[in-house]
Amino acid sequence: MNLRSILLLLFICFSSIAISQDEVILPGEKKSLNINRAEQAPKIDGVLDDVAWQNAEIATNFISFRPEIGDKRPPEERTEVKMTYDNQAIYIGAYLYDDPTKIMKQLTSRDNFGQNDFFGIVINPNNDAQNDIQFFIFSSGQQADAIANPTIGEDFGWNAVWESSVKIVDDGWIVEVKIPYRALRFTDQEEPTWGLQFHRQFRRERSQYTWNPIDPTKGNIGIYHGELTGLKNIKPPVRLNLYPFSTAIINDFDGETDTDLTFGMDVKYGITDNFTLDATLVPDFSQAGFDNVTLNLGPFEQTFSEQRQFFTEGVELFSKGNLFFSRRVGNRPSGRLNLSDDEVANVPSEVKVLNAIKISGRTKEGLGIGIFNAITEKTEATITNTTTNEKRNEVVEPFANYNILVVDQQFNGNSSISLINTNVLREGSFRDANATALVTSIQNKRNTYRIIGEAKMSNVNRQFDDNETGYSTFFFIGKAHGNFRYSFDHSFADTKFDINDLGLIFRNNYNNFGADVSYRIFEPQGNLNNYRISAYINYKNLANPGTFTGINFGANYNAQTKALNNYGFNMNIEPGKQYDYFESRDGRFFIYEDIVSGGGYYSSNYNKKFAYDINANIFKIFEDGRDLFGYNLNLSPRFRFNDKFQVVYSMNLNMSNGSRGYATRVDNQPIFGERNRKRLTNSISANYTFNPFNSLALTFRHYWDTVNYDDELFTLLDNGRLTTESGYTVDNIGNSPNINFSTWNIDLSYSWQFAPGSFLTALYRNQLFNFDTMSEDSYSESLNTLFDQPMQHTLSVRVQYFIDFNGIKSVFKKKTPTQTGQASRFNNRPFNTFNTLP
């Protein structure tokens, strides 16, 4: 018996004793597509008549994995794909046979799939099943792209500059694509083998097909890629892309007008074949989307999603361990002011980011390294004495440096182990912070079971206080295949664990256990395309002291019908006494009992011109002496007037009567109140896309929130119960805790892609804000009060230009449109032909 036979026998023996009792199925053979070098690059025009396509191999026989598994389309709806390459790029030509009257082709913004058929290309130069680069071309001509791996899924914040063309023909649609090597990361190899996959979606039935078959019942999607062979002697290019920009801003508020003109540049540089430096020099985030501000009555901070492109693009490595919350960089100042009774302070709402860089990449052996650094400037508050009118400045955020280092090793095509360190250094007497995490995600070879482990440590260094070092752990084990799945998890954080200088944790001091079980189907049954039912239970404790705080359990059901309507139900129960140690803000617990909540949703088929979403939930307490009841209703109709114009309206009404919580503080003790709360949010988003290069977008949001307290207020007893014996009322505590809160935002933007990767964006924005104690005012009265406030108007125009170092020399060398394959892109185009190159 030779060595190969011995190894094969050992592998079979090991597989047979795995923890699963399922039948052992060895991976099937991967499809392979051999590619030939092109003597002359094809013209990217959506017509496959170039010489390069004549003798190219054809990838066909696509197989479905959604909603059915293993089906094929009839010949008149088949897919045929060809590939070629030269020294500059990979080229793909796809003929997608179909009835053109059935092809859905809504014009959308980049990375917005909308109601479109699409063709997808997945390339993995490392062929490691974990680090994919995805390119999607919609039947409308627009593009989407992403990086993907099992840890983060798909990251569409990543953007590359590449070229595509779409043409609708009598028997389907044609896609032609050029992917420059600068958009990929690969090492210099003589004859590499790359991972390769093609996707095609028929939007009308939400069915999806791939060239190499996928088994959706287990494993990550990357293990089912085919292979691309035939590449010879391709050289990684010098990857240096410059994005110089300028922004002009006019800001008008309460009769005062400010203007500003800024210049800056973003840089992408390939340090090595697989590692890239991203830098933003003199960054400008003035056109980032507005935050959906709400009234926060809870004990934890209010946070918002990241809107700044530099911090949303290519941050997969830095997200390991959840130690990085990018909104910390350039957030509100961290310092606190000690003011006298006759002083008021004007504190800036954010800190200016001076510059930021990211270095990230992964070697052929799966070793990923990420380095992040950002610097923010010193920020001062202006303090005014209301008696003497004298002013002084005080530093509320010093010069600060934010750092992240990540080392991540992938293995087995489905597992990884990572070491992450974050560090914040502030000048002077302000606090410094450091956090470290060791994180691992392991799946067995058959992709049937998964284990996640995390161990974290934080250290906060205060100038005049003792250092604090805290610890946190997380463990998860679960079955990751088949219809029936289950998992168990445990999470722990001591009282000193604090990562909020560069990360995000709402609370520490917990020692919690959880379990989940679910059942799902992967192929249609009866009238359903799919459904999933799950149940969970959580048992919660404090870490110190080790005391019980609460338990909750519930269930969820979600399904999609064959008519492509989605619906679901949910229920959550918190039985018995629940001990809230955070609502009081002083460490004492507050008891509430027996809360039940439940609801459901329905989402109609978005393929229709008119569609809608409706979501309703109710909650009720079953506690002696209390009468808490509330509900939430969200209604969101949408109408697609045509393939260019769509409007979505959303209304959210949230009513809560009889809730109890922290209201204010008197004589250094928390005061609780019973309150009725009404929240109403109206929002509209409208998009008119002229073509893949020009679009107009409107976003509107009005948020109104009132909190009205009963006259009698409570103090908190040491046994966790509330009492009115203190005699506090709304009228005798000084400042009323009642609230009427309103915000108003309108964004109107126009975007024009005037050259490859180059954009002009004009944005008009207005904002209103009001906060008072008139909690009994009606909606119309509150709206009138809001419009009595000064409105902020902002107009900004930003121009960004894309410069590829490899193309600079072509500026001085005359080329014909045929030679560049790009010059005709912005000229007149035939009907239903779009050439896109963001």
Tens of pLDDT, residues 579-631:
999 999 999 999 999 999 999 999 999 999 999 999 999 999 999 999 999 99
| 444-to-28, 149, 487, 576 alpha-carbon distances in Å | 17, 17, 15, 40
Minimum mean pLDDT range among 155-164, 496-505, 672-681: 155-164
**d(C-alpha 476, C-alpha 453), whole Å:** 6
If you average pLDDT over residues 487-503, what whole number do you get?
A: 97
The predicted pLDDT at position 462 comes to: 76
Quickly state the pLDDT bin for 28 (edges 50, 70, 90): low
Nearest by Cα to 596 from 618, 577, 616, 580 = 618
The predicted pLDDT at position 284 comes to: 86
**What phi, psi does 309 have (nearest 5°)?**
-60, -40
Which residue, chain included where needed, has tokens 């009698």?
712
Q: What percent of the chain has pLDDT over 70?
A: 93
Quickly state the pLDDT bin for 273 (edges 50, 70, 90): confident
Residues 6 or more apart from 826 whose CB is under 8 A from it?
693, 754, 755
Supply the DSSP symbol for 352: -
How would you class 172 by CB atoms within 10 Å of its CB: exposed for 0-12, middle for 13-18, buried for 19 or more?
buried
Residue at 555: amino acid letter? A
The predicted pLDDT at position 463 comes to: 66
The predicted pLDDT at position 15 comes to: 35
Instruction: List the structure tokens of 548.
Output: 């019980």
Q: What is the pLDDT of residues 54-73, one digit of tens each?
A: 999 999 999 999 999 999 99
Give bridge partners of residue 179 from the DSSP assignment: 90
The predicted pLDDT at position 379 comes to: 94
**d(C-alpha 76, C-alpha 279), whole Å:** 49
**d(C-alpha 218, C-alpha 445), whole Å:** 11
The predicted pLDDT at position 312 comes to: 84
The predicted pLDDT at position 378 comes to: 95
Q: How far does CA 152 lie from the centroid of its chain?
A: 9
The predicted pLDDT at position 255 comes to: 87
Q: Which of 170-179, 214-223, 298-307, 821-830 reaches the highest mean pLDDT?
A: 170-179
Nearest by Cα to 663 from 733, 719, 724 = 733
667 Rama sector, left if φ>0, alpha if ψ -120 to 50, beta otherwise: left
The predicted pLDDT at position 5 comes to: 42
If you average pLDDT over residues 154-181, what whole number do you get?
A: 95
Quickly state the pLDDT bin for 351 (edges 50, 70, 90): very high
The predicted pLDDT at position 665 comes to: 94
**What phi, psi does 768 have (nearest 5°)?**
-135, 150
**d(C-alpha 302, C-alpha 703), whole Å:** 15
**d(C-alpha 360, C-alpha 368), whole Å:** 7
Q: What is the pLDDT of residues 398-444, one digit of tens each?
A: 999 999 999 999 998 899 999 999 999 999 889 999 999 999 999 99
Cβ neighbours of 365 (radius 10 Å): 10
Q: Residues 149, 130: contact at Cβ < 8 Å?
A: yes
Instruction: List the structure tokens of 289.
Output: 């989307």
643 Rama sector, left if φ>0, alpha if ψ -120 to 50, beta otherwise: alpha
Average confidence score pLDDT of the chain: 90
Longest dimension (CA), the chain: 97
Give the residue, 749 or 339, on which the prediction is more confident.
Answer: 749
Supply the DSSP symbol for 222: G
- Single pTM value for the model: 0.89
Q: Residue 822 pLDDT more than 80? A: no
Which residue, chain included where needed, has tokens 């799966």?
366
Opening angle at CA 332, ends 331 and 338, nearest 5? 155
Exposure string over 739-756, b if 16+ CB within 10 A, otherwise e: bbbbbbbbbbbbbebeeb
Q: Residues 258, 337: contact at Cβ < 8 Å?
A: no
Which residue, chain included where needed, has tokens 């048992």?
539
Nearest by Cα to 722 from 597, 582, 629, 626 = 626
DSSP secondary structure of 55-119: T---B---EEEESSSS----GGG-EEEEEEE-SSEEEEEEEEE--GGG--B----TT--TTB-EE
Instruction: List the structure tokens of 87.
Output: 């020294």
Minimum mean pLDDT range among 337-351, 507-521, 756-770: 337-351
Q: Residue 706 pLDDT more than 90? A: yes
The predicted pLDDT at position 570 comes to: 98
**Which domains does the chain show, CATH number per domain?**
31-237+818-836 (2.60.40.1190)
Which residue, chain included where needed, has tokens 């202006």?
382
Quickly state the pLDDT bin for 774 (edges 50, 70, 90): very high
Residue at 595: amino acid letter? I
Q: Residue 209 pLDDT more than 80? A: yes
How do beta strands 256-270 and 226-229 pair? unpaired
Supply the DSSP symbol for 14: H
Instruction: List the structure tokens of 779.
Output: 């909606």
Give the residue, 7 or 347, on which the prediction is more confident.
Answer: 347
Q: What is the pLDDT of residues 526-569, one digit of tens each?
A: 999 999 999 999 999 999 999 999 999 999 999 999 999 999 99
How do beta strands 153-155 and 143-149 pair? antiparallel
Nearest by Cα to 177 from 262, 96, 108 = 96
The predicted pLDDT at position 189 comes to: 82
